[in-house]
Amino acid sequence: MRFSMRHASAVVAALAVAFAVSAVAPAANRAFDGLGAAKDATTQYRSVPLAKKAGYGVLKDKKGISCIAMDSMPGMGAMGVHYAKPALVGDGKLDVDTPEALVYQPLAGGKLSLAAVEYVVLKKDWDRQYNNRPVLFGHTFNFTPGGNRFGLPAFYSLHVWLFKKNPSGEFSMWNPLVKCK
């Protein structure tokens, strides 16, 4: 079988279209689910100094503990060290690109590695506008009542393990691969 220049051009064009579609499809699917956008927007915070410069600061519980672990339930693991941005926690809004908290895994030598992001909204602020718990990425937020270890009023939250594998699930609060000690 012989190909003319016209046939060769058509084949090249078809291959170029097929390549472009296959290269764009995964990116489009990732952007569509919102997780890709969230990861792209927060990758810069792998650098703790950049997170601090953006207004995020270490969040400690009422006992002064910064690395949050589930010590009472072996095997659950930990969340890690939270850096929160108070202006976002109290604004009553949720934005995929600007999570209220960044969650870091402690590493040897006192270093921190970005592991997850956390979206947080105070219950009173959310309930003023909506009748249901917030949902993001197809997942309903967890509820934490007032009188919690952070001394915060009741709030809704969702952890998303964008930067650290979590065998318990990408949206689980606790990660058995994260340790505080």
pLDDT tens string 78-114: 999 999 999 999 899 999 999 999 999 999 999 999 9
Sequential DSSP letters for 141-163: PEEE-SS-TT-PPSEEEEEE-SS
Please determine, for residue 8, whether its predicted confidence score (pLDDT) is greater than 80: no
SS3 string, 41-54, reads HHHHHHCHHHHHHC
Average pLDDT of the chain, as a whole number: 85
- CA–CA separation, 104 vs 112, rounded Å? 6
Specify the pLDDT at position 163: 98
- CA–CA separation, 175 vs 13, rounded Å? 47
Residue 132: how many CB atoms within 10 A of its CB? 9
Q: What is the mean pLDDT of residues 6-30?
A: 37
Please determine, for residue 15, whether its predicted confidence score (pLDDT) is greater than 50: no
pLDDT digits (tens, 9 = 90+) for 27-74: 333 344 689 999 999 999 999 999 999 999 999 999 999 999 987 677
Q: What is the mean pLDDT of residues 140-144?
A: 97
Q: Which residues of 35-60 are buried (b: 16+ CB within 10 A; e: fewer)?
A: bbebeeebeebeebeebeeeebeebb
Of residues 26 and 142, more confidence is placed in: 142
Determine if residue 27 is left, alpha or beta; phi over 0 gives left, psi from -120 to 50 gives alpha, anything else beta: alpha
Structure confidence at residue 25 as a pLDDT band (50, 70, 90)? very low
Please name which of 132, 129, 155, 153 lies closest in space to residue 142, comparing C-alpha atoms. 155
- CA–CA separation, 43 vs 19, rounded Å? 28
- pTM of the predicted structure, to 2 decimals: 0.81
